[in-house]
Amino acid sequence: MDLRLLAEGTSFRLVPTSVHGILWLQTHFESEHWELLAEGHVIVNRSDAETLMTDASQAGLALNPLPSLSQTQQA
């Protein structure tokens, strides 16, 4: 696994889990964001998460599946 997207409400925390994941992020984000990205402190909305997953997957990175969002009803 190179990148993980962890559900945070309706958004997703982007967490690199390998050197390949960090290097890929460095090619897609400005250098002033690299530290936050490397430490898993970046949260993106679902649309951006889906775009990142598609691009990273096409680049050959191993990713966790994007969790589906569901709302539970309380009785």
- Full-prediction pTM beyond 0.85? no
The answer to whether position 31 is within a domain reads yes
Task: Match 């002033």 to its residue by tokens.
Answer: 32
Domain total of the chain: 1
HSE toward the beta carbon, residue 73, CA cutoff 13 A: 1
The answer to whether position 66 is within a domain reads no
| Exposed/middle/buried for residue 63 (C-beta within 10 Å: 0-12, 13-18, 19+) | middle
The answer to whether position 73 is within a domain reads no
The answer to whether position 67 is within a domain reads no
The answer to whether position 19 is within a domain reads yes
Q: What does the alpha-carbon distance between residue 61 and residue 22 come to, in Å, rounded to a whole number? A: 11
The answer to whether position 74 is within a domain reads no
CA 66 to mean position of chain CA atoms:
9
- DSSP one-letter code for 33: G
* Host domain of residue 19: 3-58
The answer to whether position 42 is within a domain reads yes
**Per-residue pLDDT tens for 12-51?**
999 999 999 999 999 999 999 999 999 999 999 999 999 9
